[in-house]
Amino acid sequence: MASPITWILLLPLLGALFNGLLGWMLKRRVVETVACASVAGSSVAACIAFAGMGNGTDVVLYDWLSAGGFSAPFTLRLDAISATMAVMVTGVSFIIHLYSVGYMREDEGFARYFALLNLFVAAMLLLVLAGNLPLMFVGWEGVGFCSFGLIGFWYSDPANATAGRKAFIVTRIGDVAFGVALIWLFYLTGTTDIAAINAAAPALPAATATYLGLLLMFGAAGKSAQLPLTVWLPDAMAGPTPVSALIHAATMVTAGVYLLMRMFPVISVSSDALAVITTVGAVTAFYAATSALGQRDIKRVLAYSTISQIGYMVMAVGAGALSAALFHLVVHAFFKALLFMAAGCIIQALHEEHDIFNMGGLMTRMPTVFWCFLAGALALAAAPGTGGFFSKDEVLAATLGHGGALYTALWALGEVTAFVTAFYIFRVVALVFMGGMKKESAGLPARLPGTMVWSLVPLAVLAIAGGIINLPATWGGSGYLSGLLASQGLAPHAEAGHGWAVQAVSAVVCASGIGAAYYMNLINPALRERLAARYADLNDFLFRAWGLDALYYRLFVTPFGNIADLLWHRVDEGAINRALDGIGDGLAWTGSMMRLSVTGRASTYIMATIVGAAAIVLYFAVNGGV
């Protein structure tokens, strides 16, 4: 009997294989059951493994790569970070699978969908549990591939297929940096094992560590959609909504943060790299939160909010607060999956309506969805007492506690972002659930299957109560997660105690954000109209997410297209094809000339033979023999 750690990984993989190979000839119910059961089993295995983790365990399944000094066995490592991640990934994925059963009830591609969904979970678990970097890279790429397949799931619409390709290509840019860092680390330390690399990290020169830190950061930026590689995530909304929930909450985007947490000992050698990482996180958080303000599509609001929240996690890693990053990661997974799934309910109920300005008054018509969405929104806005409050507070307190002008400034930026966050999410709440229905033509909300609505409830409870896994001392908690990480020597230092001061600031910021959103959207909508009219340019600027997409199009996509066009029309068609055609034509002409001599009359040939022989004789006669 293999250890539960193996089963965590194996079950979703088997589910994916089963559904991928046999799903086409099975009934929908069988495919759904296999997909959900495999992830449920994996989740149980993860919980058992978490409970029996001890001080961290390694499971070596077999020798995978081995050549000379290079070896990368198939090692699964369970420690505080990976076990927490595994429990979170499998748990949230299981709920998303249940939700998918309802959401995809009318889609014909269910076998492909569930196979990819299972494979996605398996790849993410491989990434999380991998004991060495090459194995982690396999999971890393697997996640990228599955996101490509699922974002472009409805591939018959070119826009969806393009979104899938965009996600694949943009994340691939970051993967290059990760690959370089991987090889460089092997070159420097002679090992691929994560623990061994981390043990050897303090001996690295600071300058090298800075470059390595930046490479890892860039790799993480690709997967986690941090600046400058944010652009793929909003477009990833093209996939089915449960996929968005899966990508944004449990898998994929957290991979970058996870990488930074795993490789923290290497990064922490260089304070410059840490400063860059914190800055990237804080600026991304601010950038995405402001962009979310300008969006009209409910899923795009949530997408930018994901980028923003991941920014907080990256910021926490930069500030050295690993447990805060992990804490926020887990809580964010709960409330973001919840928000996406609730948004999916709303969208299906309103017959594929995405625009929040066409919604309204759903509070009374969809009460369960409303209360769940509200729970998620409160957690995202970090209302005091919710899970999001404690985790975000830890991130901000750690940044402030780090000291120095830069970190203090970034803390202030983080607080501003928190205000914007509260504002934009309660703008959505106000527009979607309160007031009256703006577009009556949409009709009454359709009835939704129970699996969709009721799978929101456990996540809502977790979003509100998620704080207990790392409750600070000021609230009578013991900081379970921080203690767990510290006991295994994974968190570099115990976080500074969070005073009431930072919490009070966060609470005030949150309350004012919610209040402002409430006032502008419900009590005094005329003010919003006036502001929108006066600052139409700003609104448009935010809607286009600061024009980053357009900038990339101008800087990379259009020039690339032009170069490709040039190579195609001028070089390939113009030069190469015409040269080859010219050679062919020349040979054909020569041949037609030569053909004139072929008369078919023997006398001509005899004459030619004799003339040729005479010429040869003459040549030797003139040149004096051989």
Cβ closer to other proteins: 67 or 602?
A: 602
Residues 494, 198, 391, 274, CA torsion sign = positive
From 441, 597, 603, 623, residue interacting with other proteins (rule: CB under 8 A):
603
CB of 623 to other proteins, least distance (A): 19
Indicate whether 21 belongs to the interface with other proteins (CB under 8 A). no
CB of 161 to other proteins, least distance (A): 56
Q: Give the DSSP letter string of 491-536.
A: SSSPPPPPPHHHHHHHHHHHHHHHHHHHIIIII-HHHHHHHHHHTH
* Look-up of token digits 């969006």: 295
In degrees, to the nearest 5, what angle opens at C-alpha 392 toward C-alphas 390 and 396?
A: 115
Cβ closer to other proteins: 447 or 601?
A: 601
Indicate whether 602 belongs to the interface with other proteins (CB under 8 A). yes
Structure tokens at 309: 């929240």
Residues 210, 214, 219, 221, CA torsion sign = positive
Site string for other proteins, 351-380 (x = CB under 8 A): ------------------------------
Cβ closer to other proteins: 566 or 613?
A: 613
Cβ closer to other proteins: 159 or 606?
A: 606
For residue 128, the tally of other CB atoms under 10 A from its CB is: 29
From 65, 176, 606, 616, residue interacting with other proteins (rule: CB under 8 A):
606
Can you tell me the distance from the alpha carbon of 306 to that of 611, in angstroms, rounded to the nearest whole number? 89
Determine if residue 54 is left, alpha or beta; phi over 0 gives left, psi from -120 to 50 gives alpha, anything else beta: left
Region from 17-25, 67-75, 557-565, 593-601 binding other proteins, contact rule CB under 8 A:
593-601
Region from 31-39, 292-300, 320-328, 594-602 binding other proteins, contact rule CB under 8 A:
594-602
From 487, 558, 577, 599, residue interacting with other proteins (rule: CB under 8 A):
599
From 69, 108, 601, 621, residue interacting with other proteins (rule: CB under 8 A):
601
Instruction: Determine the 3-state secondary structure of 193 from DSSP.
Output: strand
From 591, 600, 624, 625, residue interacting with other proteins (rule: CB under 8 A):
600
Indicate whether 598 belongs to the interface with other proteins (CB under 8 A). yes
Indicate whether 616 belongs to the interface with other proteins (CB under 8 A). no
CB of 595 to other proteins, least distance (A): 10
Nearest to 360 by CA among 439, 441, 443, 453: 439
Residues contacting 182, CB < 8 A, separation 6+: 133, 134, 137, 192
Q: Please, are residues 248 and 206 in contact by the beta-carbon 8 Å criterion? A: no
Cβ closer to other proteins: 560 or 620?
A: 620
Cβ closer to other proteins: 29 or 601?
A: 601
From 199, 607, 616, 618, residue interacting with other proteins (rule: CB under 8 A):
607
Q: How many residues bind other proteins (CB under 8 A)?
A: 9
Is the previous residue joined to 228 through a cis bond, with omega within 30 degrees of 0? yes
Cβ closer to other proteins: 501 or 610?
A: 610
CB of 607 to other proteins, least distance (A): 5
Can you tell me the distance from the alpha carbon of 216 to that of 203, in angstroms, rounded to the nearest whole number? 18
Site string for other proteins, 540-579 (x = CB under 8 A): ----------------------------------------
Measuring CA to CA, how many Å separate 620 from each of 607, 608, 611? Answer: 20, 19, 14
Indicate whether 618 belongs to the interface with other proteins (CB under 8 A). no
For residue 529, the tally of other CB atoms under 10 A from its CB is: 11
Residues contacting 192, CB < 8 A, separation 6+: 70, 71, 72, 132, 133, 134, 182, 185, 186
Region from 17-25, 300-308, 493-501, 602-610 binding other proteins, contact rule CB under 8 A:
602-610
Q: Please, are residues 29 and 37 in contact by the beta-carbon 8 Å criterion? A: no
Site string for other proteins, 456-475 (x = CB under 8 A): --------------------
From 536, 610, 616, 618, residue interacting with other proteins (rule: CB under 8 A):
610
| Contacts with other proteins, residue ranges (CB under 8 A) | 598-603, 606-607, 610
